Structure 1
Amino acid sequence: MRRRLIQSTLAVVLVVIAVFGVSLVIVEARTISSTAQERVDLEAARLASIVDSRLLGTGTVDAEILRRQVEGDRYAVIRVKGEPALEVGAEPSGDVIRGEATGEEGETVVVEEPRSSVTREVGRTLLIIGLVALLAVIAAVLLAVRQANRLASPLTDLAETAERLGSGDPRPRHKRYGVPELDRVADVLDSSAERIARMLTAERRLAADASHQLRTPLTALSMRLEEITVTDEPETVKEEATIALAQVERLTDVVERLLTNSRDPRSGSAVTFELDDVIDQQIAEWRPAYRGEGRAIVSSGKRRLTAVGTPGAVAQVLAALIENSLMHGGGTVALRTRVTGNQAVVEVTDEGQGVPADLGARIFERAISGRNSTGIGLAVARDLAEADGGRLELLQSNPPVFGLFLSRTHPPKKTDAETDRTVR
C-alpha cells in the first residue's frame, strides 16, 4: 500500500510538472525572444538619436564615438547619405537578432546581436525551472512517504488488533490516528473487543458456575450409588435408587437452568413452594456425608412455610451452605426457619470457628476462600438467591450464621417497557 500511495502521488506531481513546466518554458522562451528583439530595436533607435545629434552639431559622425556607445558583442552599421557606411563591432556569424531605425537626417542604423545570447538566457531559465521541478519532486516524495506511513501504519495496527481479537486476546487498544475513517474503524474494533471480553467472561463464569453447581448433585448421586453397591437388602437398594433418581432429576434441572440463564438471564421460573420439602430433601441427601464425619445435621423453627422462588435454585443455595459447613465448619449443622415481615428466612449455622474477620465483608466475592477451595460456592449461591428476588447474607461471623431470605408473595409483574429499562 505504501508503494502504491507513493507511486500515485509522484504520478500526479509529474503530470502537473509536465503540463505546467512545458507551458512555462514555451511562454518564457517567447518572452525572452521578444525582450531581446525589443532591446535591439531600442539600441538601434538610441544610436540613431546619437547620430542625429552629431550631424546637427558638427555635420560629421565619428566612428570612435559610436564604438564607445555599442556594448558587448553587438554589431552596428550606420549609413549616412553621401558618406561611406560605418561599421562598429564585429559582425556576428550565424543566426542573429536584427534591429533597424531611421534618423531625422535620413540616416539608417542597423544593430545585430547573436541569437546565442537568447539561447543562453533560455537555457538559464530552463535550468531554474528544472531545479524548481526537482525540488517539487523531492517534496512530493517526502510528502508521499509521510502520508503513506500515516495511512499504512494505522492499517497495520488495525490488522494486528483484528488478529489479536481472532486469537482470543480481547484487550482494546484505545489508540487513535487522527484520521476520521481510521478512528471509526478503531472505535468499532475496541467496541467489539469489549463485547468479546464480556462474552468470554460470561462463558468462563458459566463454566465455573456449571462445574460447581453440578458437583453437589453428582456427589450426592455418587454417595447413593455407593450405598447401593455395599448393601444386599432389596428395600435399601430400592430406597437408595429412588433417591438416586431424584438426584438425576435435580441434576437435569440444574443443567436446564444453566442453559436457560445462559440464553436469557432475565427468564425466571419462580413459583410458590413448601420450604419444608426442600429442607427435608437436603437433610436426607447430606445426612450420610455428615454421619461419615461423625457429625449431625438437623432442622428446627417454623414449619409449613411457603416461599416464592425456584425450588431447584433454593436447594442449590442450601446445598452450598451445607457443603460449606461440612468443609469449613464443625459440630452439628442446624437449618432454622423463621418469618420476618413478608419474608421467609432459612438460617444455616454450625458450631465451628466461624468466618475470619478479614473475610467477613468479602465472603461472597468470587475466588475468596478461607481454605483451599474454589471460592465460588457462596458467590454462586448468592447469584442464585438474587435471581429469584431473594438474598443471601452472612448474619453472624462466630458462630457462623448464613441467612437465605425469600419472599412469601409474588412481586408485581413488570411490563415489557419496564423490563427493557431495567436491562438497559
Structure 2
Amino acid sequence: MRRRLIQSTLAVVLVVIAVFGVSLVIVESRTISNSAQERVDSEAVRLVGIVDSRLLGHEDVTTEILRDQVTQNRHAVITVPGRAPIEIGTAPHGDVITATEKGEGGETVVVQEPRSTVTREVGRTLLIIGLVALLAVVAAVLLAIRQANRLASPLTDLAETAERLGSGDPRPRHKRYGVPELDRVADVLDSSAERIGRMLTAERRLAADASHQLRTPLTALSMRLEEITLTDDPDTVKEEATIALTQVERLTDVVERLLTNARDPRTGSAVSFELDEVIQQQLAEWRPAYRSAGRAIVSSGKRHLRAVGTPGAVAQVLAALIENSLMHGGGTVALRTRVTGNQAVIEVTDEGPGVPADLGARIFERTISGRNSTGIGLAVARDLAEADGGRLEMLQAQPAVFGLFLSRTPPAKRSAQDQEPTVR
C-alpha cells in the first residue's frame, strides 16, 4: 500500500510538472526572445536620436563619440549620406537579432546582437525551472512517504488488533490516529474487544461457579450411591435412592440457575416456602460429611417460618455456608432461625477460630479465601441471595456467624386492572 500511494502521488506530480513546466518553458522562451528584440530596437532608436541631434547641431558624428553609446557585445553600423559608414563593435557570426532605424537626416542605424545571449538566458531559465521541478518531486516523494506511513501504519495496527481479537486477547488498545475513518474502525474494534472481554469473563465466571456449585452435590450424590452399593436392605436402598433423586433435582436446578446467571423475583421464580424443609434437607445431605470429619451439624431457633425466595437458591446459599464451615471452621455447626422485622434470618455459625482480621468484609469478594480454596463460594452465595431479593452478611467474625436475610412478604401480584391493556 505504501508503494502504491507513493507511486500514485509521484505520478500526479510528474503530470503536473510536465503540463505546467512545458508551458512555462515555452512562455519564458518567447518572453526572453521578445525582450532581447525590444532591447535591440530600443538601442537602435536611441542611436538614431543621438545622430539626429548632432547632425541638426552641425556637430561631428564619429566613432569615438558613438562607441560609448553602444552596449557591449553588440554591433552597430551608422550610415550617414555623403559620409563613410561608421561601424562599432565586432560583427557577430551565426544567428543574430537585428534592428534597423532611419533618422530625419536620412541616416540609417543597424544594431545587431548574437542570438547566443538569448540562448544562454533561456538555458539559465530552464535550469531554474528544472531545479524547482526537482525540488517539487523530492517534496512530493517525502510528503507521499509521510502520508503513506500515516495511512498504512494505522491499518497495520488495526490488523494486529483484529488478529489479537481472533486469537482470544480482547484487550482494547484505545489508540486513535487523527483520521476520522480509521478512528471509526478503531472505535468499533475497541467496542468489540470490550464485548468479547465481557463475554469471556462471563464464561470463565460461569465455568468457575459451575465447578464450585456442582462439586458438593456431586460428592453427596456419590456418597448416596455408595451407600446403595454397600447395602442389601431394600428399604435402605429405596430411602437412599429417594434422597439421590432429590439431589439430582438439586443438580438440575443448579445448572439451570448457572445458565440463566440472573434472576428477578418479579418474574415469578420467587415463592413463599417453608424454611424448615430446606434446612432439614441440608442437614440430611451434610451429616455424613460432618460425621466423617468427627463433627456435628444441628439446627435450632424458630420453627415453621415461611420466607419468600427460590428454595433451590436458598439451598445453594446454605450449602455454601455449611461447606465453608466444614472447610474453615471447627466444632459443631449450628443453623439458627429467627425473625427480625419483616425478615426471616438463617444464621450459620461454628466453634472455629473465625474469619481472619485481614480478610474482614473482603470475604465475599471472588478469589478471596482463607485457605487454598477457590474463593468463590461465598461470592456466589451472596449473588444468589441478592438475586432472590435477600442479602447475605457476615454478622460476626470470631467465631464466624453468617446471616441469610429473606423477606417474609409474598411478592405483590398485579391487579386485573394493571394486567388489562387500556383501551382508548
TM bucket, shorter chain: over 0.9
TM-score if structure 2 supplies the norm length?
Answer: 0.93
Cα 1:67–1:268 change in 2 (3 A) is farther
- C-alpha displacement of 1:61: 2.2
Q: Tell me the residue number matched to 2:270.
A: 270
- C-alpha displacement of 1:375: 0.9
Cα 1:249–1:362 change in 2 (3 A) is same
Show CA shifts across 1:171-190 (max 9, x none). Answer: 12222222222222222222
Q: Helix, strand or coil: the match of 2:97?
A: strand
Q: Tell me the residue number matched to 2:77.
A: 77
Is the CA contact (8 Å cut-off) linking 1:67 and 1:88 kept in structure 2?
yes
Q: Helix, strand or coil: the match of 2:98?
A: strand
Is 1:256 the counterpart of 2:256? The answer is yes
Is the CA contact (8 Å cut-off) linking 1:79 and 1:85 kept in structure 2?
yes
Could you tell me which amino acid in structure 2 is paired with residue 372 of structure 1? N
Q: Tell me the residue number matched to 1:139.
A: 139
- In structure 1, C-alpha distance between the alignment counterparts of 2:337 and 2:296, rounded to whole Å: 18
- C-alpha displacement of 1:343: 0.8
Q: Helix, strand or coil: the match of 2:68?
A: helix
Q: Tell me the residue number matched to 1:237.
A: 237
Is the CA contact (8 Å cut-off) linking 1:261 and 1:267 kept in structure 2?
no
Is 1:362 the counterpart of 2:354? The answer is no
Structure 1 residue ranges without an equivalent (≥5): 415-424
- C-alpha displacement of 1:268: 6.6
Q: Helix, strand or coil: the match of 1:112?
A: strand
Show CA shifts across 1:225-280 (max 9, x none). Answer: 11112222111111111111111111111111212227999967211111111111
Q: Tell me the residue number matched to 2:295.
A: 295
Is the CA contact (8 Å cut-off) linking 2:393 and 2:404 kept in structure 1?
yes
Show CA shifts across 1:192-217 (max 9, x none). Answer: 22222111111111110011111111
Q: Helix, strand or coil: the match of 1:69?
A: coil
Q: Tell me the residue number matched to 1:208.
A: 208
Q: Tell me the residue number matched to 1:64.
A: 64
- In structure 2, C-alpha distance between the alignment counterparts of 1:410 and 1:200, rounded to whole Å: 37
Could you tell me which amino acid in structure 1 is paired with residue 105 of structure 2? E
Q: Helix, strand or coil: the match of 2:331?
A: coil
Q: Tell me the residue number matched to 2:391.
A: 391
- In structure 1, C-alpha distance between the alignment counterparts of 2:391 and 2:169, rounded to whole Å: 35
Structure 2 residue ranges without an equivalent (≥5): 415-424
Q: Tell me the residue number matched to 2:400.
A: 400
Show CA shifts across 1:353-402 (max 9, x none). Answer: 11112222111111111112111111111111111111111111122111
Q: Out of 35-44 and 141-150, give the one that drifted further.
A: 141-150
- In structure 2, C-alpha distance between the alignment counterparts of 1:266 and 1:302, rounded to whole Å: 28
Q: Out of 153-162 and 52-61, give the one that drifted further.
A: 52-61
Q: Helix, strand or coil: the match of 1:99?
A: strand
Q: Tell me the residue number matched to 1:343.
A: 343
Q: Tell me the residue number matched to 2:409.
A: 409
- In structure 2, C-alpha distance between the alignment counterparts of 1:349 and 1:225, rounded to whole Å: 30
Show CA shifts across 1:84-117 (max 9, x none). Answer: 3322222222221111111121211111111111
Q: Tell me the residue number matched to 2:310.
A: 310
Q: Tell me the residue number matched to 2:418.
A: none
Could you tell me which amino acid in structure 1 is paired with residue 107 of structure 2? E
Percent identity of equivalent pairs: 85
CA RMSD of aligned residues (A): 1.9
Show CA shifts across 1:12-39 (max 9, x none). Answer: 2112211211111111111111111110
Is the CA contact (8 Å cut-off) linking 2:17 and 2:133 kept in structure 1?
yes
Q: Tell me the residue number matched to 1:418.
A: none
- In structure 2, C-alpha distance between the alignment counterparts of 1:64 and 1:278, rounded to whole Å: 138
Is the CA contact (8 Å cut-off) linking 2:78 and 2:109 kept in structure 1?
yes
Q: Tell me the residue number matched to 1:328.
A: 328
Cα 1:268–1:380 change in 2 (3 A) is farther
Is the CA contact (8 Å cut-off) linking 1:344 and 1:405 kept in structure 2?
yes
Matches within 5 A, 1:106-185: 106-185=106-185
Q: Out of 229-238 and 308-317, give the one that drifted further.
A: 229-238
Q: Tell me the residue number matched to 1:54.
A: 54
Q: Helix, strand or coil: the match of 1:369?
A: coil
- In structure 1, C-alpha distance between the alignment counterparts of 2:43 and 2:227, rounded to whole Å: 133
Matches within 5 A, 1:31-50: 31-50=31-50
Q: Helix, strand or coil: the match of 1:174?
A: coil
Is the CA contact (8 Å cut-off) linking 2:5 and 2:148 kept in structure 1?
yes
Q: Tell me the residue number matched to 1:422.
A: none
- In structure 1, C-alpha distance between the alignment counterparts of 2:331 and 2:341, rounded to whole Å: 31
- In structure 1, C-alpha distance between the alignment counterparts of 2:335 and 2:300, rounded to whole Å: 6
Could you tell me which amino acid in structure 2 is paired with residue 305 of structure 1? L
Cα 1:37–1:238 change in 2 (3 A) is same
- In structure 1, C-alpha distance between the alignment counterparts of 2:137 and 2:268, rounded to whole Å: 71
- In structure 2, C-alpha distance between the alignment counterparts of 1:58 and 1:327, rounded to whole Å: 140
Q: Tell me the residue number matched to 1:371.
A: 371
- C-alpha displacement of 1:73: 2.3
Is the CA contact (8 Å cut-off) linking 1:260 and 1:267 kept in structure 2?
no
Q: Tell me the residue number matched to 1:421.
A: none
Could you tell me which amino acid in structure 1 is paired with residue 16 of structure 2? V
Matches within 5 A, 1:8-23: 8-23=8-23
Is the CA contact (8 Å cut-off) linking 1:298 and 1:334 kept in structure 2?
yes
Q: Helix, strand or coil: the match of 1:72?
A: coil
Could you tell me which amino acid in structure 2 is paired with residue 287 of structure 1? R
Q: Tell me the residue number matched to 2:88.
A: 88
- C-alpha displacement of 1:160: 1.1
Cα 1:111–1:410 change in 2 (3 A) is farther
